[in-house]
Structure formats: structure tokens, C-alpha cells
Amino acid sequence: MSRQIKLIWDFRGEASSKTAEHHELHLKEYILREKLAIHITGFQIKNDLHAIAFMVVTDENMIQVRDALKPHRGELYVE
């Protein structure tokens, strides 16, 4: 099984939670449009001024998604 990588988009400020939640919708739209076999997306509120949206990809599609969507960072995903 290939590695899973969590691509992360950071949002800061008072509207960060709503922005991250909305960004997840765009990530799901991208997955459908590109017909990718990606099933894990989400958003998390870290604190009042920081939230993230994320998508978990495999090694095989990481470069494609990274180049198209330009995440702020990534990390290995462990369930």
C-alpha cells in the first residue's frame, strides 16, 4: 500500500473557520471533476483565529494535486 499524504491549506483570521469549511467544498469539487479516487477531506478549527482544510492523497496522485491546488504544507497521514 502506498503512503497517504495529508495536504493542508491554512486559513487565519476571524473568518478562518468558515473559509476552511468552504474550501473543503472546492476540494470535493476538484476530486469529482478530476475523477480521483480520494475519499478523505475535511476541515478542522485549531483555535479562534486558525483553521485548516485538508485532503488525503496517495503518492501516486500527490504531484498532480499539489501542482494544481498549491497546498500550504503536507504531512504523512496516519489514521
Q: How far is CA 58 from CA 14, 62, 69, in A?
A: 32, 6, 15
Assign 3-state DSSP to the chain and report helix, strand, coil percentages, each to 5: 40, 40, 25
pLDDT exceeds 70 at position 8: yes
Task: Specify the pLDDT at position 79.
Answer: 80
pLDDT in tens, 33-75: 999 998 999 999 999 999 999 999 999 999 999 999 999 999 9
Report the alpha-carbon distance of residue 64 to residue 49 in Å, rounded: 30
Q: What is the pLDDT of residue 1?
A: 66
pLDDT for the residue numbered 2:
84
Which pLDDT band holds residue 10 (cuts at 50, 70, 90)? very high
- Asked whether the beta carbons of 52 and 46 are under 8 A apart, the reply is yes
